[in-house]
Chains A and B, each alone.
Chain A
Amino acid sequence: MAELTKADEPTDATPNVSEVDVADVHSEEEAVAALDAHVDRGEPILQVRNLVKHFPLTQGIVIKRQIGAVKAVDGISFDLYQGETLGIVGESGCGKSTVAKLLMNLEQATAGEIFYKGQDITKLSGKALKAVRRNIQMIFQDPYTSLNPRMTVGDIIGEPFDIHPEVAPKGDRRRKVQELLDVVGLNPEYINRYPHQFSGGQRQRIGIARGLALNPEVIICDEPVSALDVSVQAQVINLMEGLQDEFNLSYIFIAHDLSIVRHISDRVGVMYLGKMAEIGTDEQIYDHPTHPYTQALLSAVPVPDPDARDHRERIILTGDVPSPANPPSGCRFRTRCWKAQDKCAQEVPLLAVPERFKSSDSPAAHESACHFAEEKDVVHAG
């Protein structure tokens, strides 16, 4: 495998994504102040541009040589608007959780920018970074491992206040934690209990309370309900929707369950092998998908309606997702695509509104990274 060179870097700019209005700041104080700025509903709050994360693969023990890279995220761009939910779907290994970590600044991006209110958070440090972290919070997948078993619920939810004491003065914390417990539908008297005394659904509520503690504006939810039972999933989803309205939150909702993503999201992005394959409103993606991968993904979802099983067309993909360390040339989906032609192996398709739909105002006119984009309804039976 070749060394990672400049030429390997992704070139798929997303022409349709709006220009970023970069904030004009010169000092740390100004940066912190700019982060408190108010963003109107429907205005972009988080803007991701050409984000790349490569994990190096090394060989040798004493003298480490880089022999390649796992291209977990390879050039994706999107906007998150204030007050909306952006769903990100994709199979395991497509890079969706890495995106979450990059947005939280828990991983250092290899290239690209993440603008939060016009400031590139990948380049912030010190006080400004701390302020960003307060405003972007995360809810994790597994409520069993994401809560420290030796801490009480009160300590877990109150811990963010130790790091950001300006949010809640010391004497006020206990009351604040009890308020949070009440907000997420738990009994405030449970404050001294330990995580093992709660069921999975209740633990996820504790995780949500912790995420809300610092009054964030953006919450990144990485598979928040996939570890829960069906009847409890609905409770947690309803809670999250209620909290979004109450606290005016913007969500990035990462999941592999396409039905839940449709339910909660205003817009949906479909990822495949570190790239965005298609992005649009929930109606555009689910009812008018134009990328073959989206179509295959949607057709594979079992629909809870036995009458549909004879009518629905199913696209069964062959093989597995290729390794992100050595992705196919051109379009990454071409090795499993039934439409693939020579062009797909040579040219990387850009994420843009396909030429043929450009002048139409049909819902098929949304960004799709396919040379042969074609509308196909795979969700509705008959």
Chain B
Amino acid sequence: MTIIDPTDAVPAPRPGDAEKTGPLLEVRDLHVEFKTREGVVRAVNGVNYSVNSGETLAVLGESGSGKSVTAQAIMGILDMPPASIPKGEIRFYGQDMLKMSAEERRKLRGARIAMIFQDALSSLNPVLSVGFQLGEMFRVHQGLSRKEAKAKAIELMDRVKIPAAAARVNDYPHQFSGGMRQRIMIAMALALEPDLIIADEPTTALDVTVQAQVMDLLAELQREYRMGLILITHDLGVVADVADKIAVMYAGRIVETAPVHELYKRPAHPYTRGLLDSIPRLDQKGRELYAIKGLPPNLLKVPSGCAFNPRCEKAQDICRTERPLLVPVTERDGTELPGRASACHFWKETIHG
């Protein structure tokens, strides 16, 4: 399990990067829109978050909350058009990636920021051997020869604990099991030792026993390479196991941020509280589950005011008219709670009441 000493949270300087201090990645007021026939879908509406080296940020949300779109914007793999980024900054070591040229971004992608996708079978090319696909990273980014790249690929497969790596390097994706394919995806993301890995639902398609293997491996490698990790998921169990801090998203906005222990103990947003109450527990037999009523909103017509108001039990008139901002959350006596914020008019009642 990853337990990160907070004193280590300063990024280790890389050679030649003297000016790089502050957070590894910072997303500021990011907006993403999609133009569709039915109108403009505002998938991401002003998202802010940051990740440091060696830190794990979990982005939690249901389908349609904008968590994957944010990640794709960071990677620069959104299809534009139909998508566009009207506003916002994505700072990697302080430099705004949205202002970089396509060539500059291409050099960062894979080498410094890598992504692990959910569905390993459809993310790997079925007609190329895994060794060739792994080696591609070295051939393209480092200009290695085919032979050298293959040797590196074997090394990587060993790193992610694929048994008999040398014998399997020429195998094709369909010859591997789901867990092994996900390891190959991880190996591919790790190939050039990036500073930041974005994992989009990396274990959703896997069985629990394999999920535990893969999450353990990811945590171990993250510790070893001191990478920042953005883990995108809807699984509150996985988040509790590995995250340092959490950002909860709803309808394209962050509704709550908190360090992991705090969030589970005292949620400060009714949506987070509802989510926590609605999951059955393994270690106790509960009575009837609490269910958040209604459905996640259609992004073409997000409710006015707080997007969660039609599903919220505590909603008042102000929730229907005024959109709550993400404000810092404090103790009853006004003591600051570092890292905590909530976008609810009634966060005080939610956390303390």
Does chain A bind chain B? Answer: yes
Residues of A within 8 A of B (CB): 91-92, 199, 201-202, 229-235, 237-238, 241, 256, 258-260, 262-264, 282-283, 286, 296-310, 314, 316-320, 379-381
B296, A234: Cβ atoms closer than 8 Å: no
A296-B209 in contact given A303-B283, A304-B276 (Cβ < 8 Å) = yes
Question: Known pairs A231-B291, A305-B264. 4 more at Cβ < 8 A?
Answer: A231-B292, A262-B280, A262-B281, A304-B237
A282, B285: Cβ atoms closer than 8 Å: yes
A300-B288 in contact given A230-B234, A309-B241 (Cβ < 8 Å) = no
A307, B261: Cβ atoms closer than 8 Å: yes
A316, B213: Cβ atoms closer than 8 Å: yes
A201-B295 in contact given A91-B207, A229-B234, A296-B209 (Cβ < 8 Å) = yes
Q: For the complex, is B278 an interface residue (Cβ under 8 Å from A)?
A: yes
Some 15 contacts from A to B, beta carbons below 8 A apart, are A92-B178, A230-B275, A230-B279, A234-B278, A237-B280, A259-B237, A259-B280, A262-B281, A286-B282, A299-B212, A302-B235, A304-B264, A307-B264, A314-B212, A317-B209
4 tightest A-B contacts by CB? A302-B237, A263-B280, A234-B278, A300-B212
Q: For the complex, is B121 an interface residue (Cβ under 8 Å from A)?
A: no
B261, A230: Cβ atoms closer than 8 Å: no
Give bound CA distance, A319 to B216, whole Å.
Answer: 14
Q: For the complex, is B194 an interface residue (Cβ under 8 Å from A)?
A: no
A258-B275 in contact given A241-B288, A302-B241, A304-B264 (Cβ < 8 Å) = no
Give bound CA distance, A365 to B211, whole Å.
Answer: 30
A238, B274: Cβ atoms closer than 8 Å: no
Q: How far is the CB of B222 from chain A (nearest CB, A)?
A: 15
Q: How far is the CB of A351 from chain B (nearest CB, A)?
A: 21
A230-B208 in contact given A302-B238, A304-B264 (Cβ < 8 Å) = no
Interface string of B224-241 (1 = CB under 8 A from A): 000000000011111111
Give bound CA distance, A276 to B178, whole Å.
Answer: 23
Please report the total number of B residues contacting A with Cβ < 8 Å.
49
Q: For the complex, is B47 an interface residue (Cβ under 8 Å from A)?
A: no
Q: Which residue from chain A places its CB closest to the CB of B276 in the assembled complex?
A: A304
A229, B3: Cβ atoms closer than 8 Å: no
> Which residues of B258-304 are within 8 A (CB) of A?
260-261, 264, 274-276, 278-283, 285-286, 288-293, 295-296
Q: Which residues from A are CB-within-8-Å of B237?
A: 259, 301-304
A310, B208: Cβ atoms closer than 8 Å: no
Give bound CA distance, A5 to B226, whole Å.
Answer: 56
A231, B274: Cβ atoms closer than 8 Å: yes
A320, B285: Cβ atoms closer than 8 Å: no
Give bound CA distance, A308 to B237, whole Å.
Answer: 11
